[in-house]
Amino acid sequence: MGTHSLKDKSPNKTIMPKRQTIQENDNILLYLNKKRSYLVKVEKGKSFHTHKGYLQFDSLIGKKLGTPLFSSLGVEFVALKPTLRDFIFKAQRKTQIMYPKDISLIVMFGGIGPGSHVVEAGTGAGALTTALAFYVKPKGRVYSYEIRSEFQEIALKNLKKAKVESFIELKNKDITLGIDEKNVDAVVLDLATPWLAIPHAYSALMGSGNIVSFSPTIDQVVKTAGVLKENRFVDIGTFECIMRGMQVAFGKTRPQTLMTGHTGYVTYARKALKK
C-alpha cells in the first residue's frame, strides 16, 4: 500500500514571536494558589494589595510572563497571561454567568468559528458574549441583544477588558420582538422564554444555520423543543453537561467533594428550508 503525506505548499513565512513580557496597561493574572488569583491591570505608579502583602506594578513592567513575583511579605505570586476562562470567571457581574462547560457545548453545537456571524440574547454580564467574540474573530461578528441597559454597561466593561469589543455590536432591544440581521450562521439564546424568539431566529438564519438555547429548567427545554419542531428545525437535541473535578495527589487521588453540578440544559437544532 502507498503512503500519503501532507506537505505545506505555501511559501516560507517568517513566524513572528509573540510578546512574552509584561507591559504597561496589560491585564495579567496574579496567581497565588488554586483558590486565589487576581485579574489586574498593570498601571504605572500603582500597586495591588492583598492579605499576603502588596506588589508594585512598576516592578512588573518588563518582566516575562510566567515569572515568579514576591509581595512585600515575601509571598510568591506568578504573573500569568489571562486566558478566555480567566476573563469569564473574573468578569464584573450582577447576573449569573455561564460556565465554560456550557459555553464549550454552545460553541461546538452552534458551529461557531472564525468568520461566523452570530446573534445572541441576552447579553447579561457578557461572559458568553466574550467567548463568542473570541471564537468569531478576526472577521466574524456578534450581535448581542439585551433589554436592560444597565447590564449592557457592565458587559461593555468586561468586553473591553478582554479586548474583544470591536467584534461585537450591543443592541438594546427585545429579541422576542424581532431580529434585525439576516443570513447569520448561528443564533444563541439565554432567555427565560426562548421559544418566543424561535420564529425570528428562523428568519434570521441562513439555510442549515444553527440555533442553540441555554435553559436552567427542563420545562423550558420541552417547550423550546416543541416550538423548534413547529418552525422547521431539524436535528433537535438536548444535553445536560455535568463536570466533576479531581483532587490529584499521590496516594490520595479521588473526585472532589464539591462540584458544579447542574447549571442548565443546552438545546440545539438546525434550520431546514421550507418545502
98 three-class SS? coil
User: What CATH number is attached to the domain comprising 54?
Assistant: 3.10.330.20
Residues 180, 136 share a domain: yes
Q: Rounded to an integer, what distance in angstroms lies between the CA atom of residue 202 and that of residue 190? A: 16
Cis? peptide before 138, omega within 30° of 0: yes
| Confidence (pLDDT) at 12 | 57
Helices (H), the chain: 84-89, 100-109, 127-136, 149-161, 198-204, 218-230
| Confidence (pLDDT) at 193 | 97
Residues 233, 110 share a domain: yes
Residues 249, 129 share a domain: yes
Residues 113, 234 share a domain: yes
Q: Rounded to an integer, what distance in angstroms lies between the CA atom of residue 191 and that of residue 122? A: 6
Q: Rounded to an integer, what distance in angstroms lies between the CA atom of residue 144 and that of residue 128? A: 10
Q: Which domain holds residue 254?
A: 86-271
pTM of the model: 0.83
| Confidence (pLDDT) at 46 | 93
Residues 67, 203 share a domain: no
33 three-class SS? coil
Contact (CB, 8 A) for 184 and 206: yes
Q: What is the pLDDT of residues 109-131, one digit of tens each?
A: 999 999 999 999 999 999 999 99
Residues 155, 39 share a domain: no
DSSP tag of 59? G
Looking at the structure of the chain, the number of domains it has is 2
User: What CATH number is attached to the domain comprising 166?
Assistant: 3.40.50.150
Residues 64, 142 share a domain: no
Does any domain span residue 15?
A: no
Q: Whose grid coordinates read 436592560?
A: 148
Does any domain span residue 14?
A: no
| Confidence (pLDDT) at 17 | 67
Among 59, 82, 105, the domain-final residue is: 82
Cα 258 to chain center, whole Å? Answer: 23
Does any domain span residue 182?
A: yes
DSSP string, 157-205: HHHHHTT-GGGEEEE-S-GGG-----SEEEEEE--S-GGGTHHHHHHHE
Does any domain span residue 6?
A: no
CA angle 22, 28, 34 (to 5 degrees): 130
Amino acid at 94: K
| Confidence (pLDDT) at 221 | 97
Q: Rounded to an integer, what distance in angstroms lies between the CA atom of residue 101 and that of residue 234? A: 24
Residues 150, 230 share a domain: yes
Q: With a cut of 70, which residues of the chain have pLDDT below it?
A: 1-17, 93-95
Among 41, 60, 82, the domain-final residue is: 82
Residues 173, 201 share a domain: yes
Query: Which of 173, 182, 172, 88 lies closest to 135, judged by CA?
Result: 88
Residues 191, 78 share a domain: no
Does any domain span residue 172?
A: yes
Residues 6+ apart with CB under 8 A from 250: none
Residues 74, 160 share a domain: no
Does any domain span residue 3?
A: no
Dihedral (CA of 74, 85, 169, 265) sign: negative
Residues 94, 208 share a domain: yes
Q: Rounded to an integer, what distance in angstroms lies between the CA atom of residue 36 and that of residue 44? A: 24
Does any domain span residue 8?
A: no
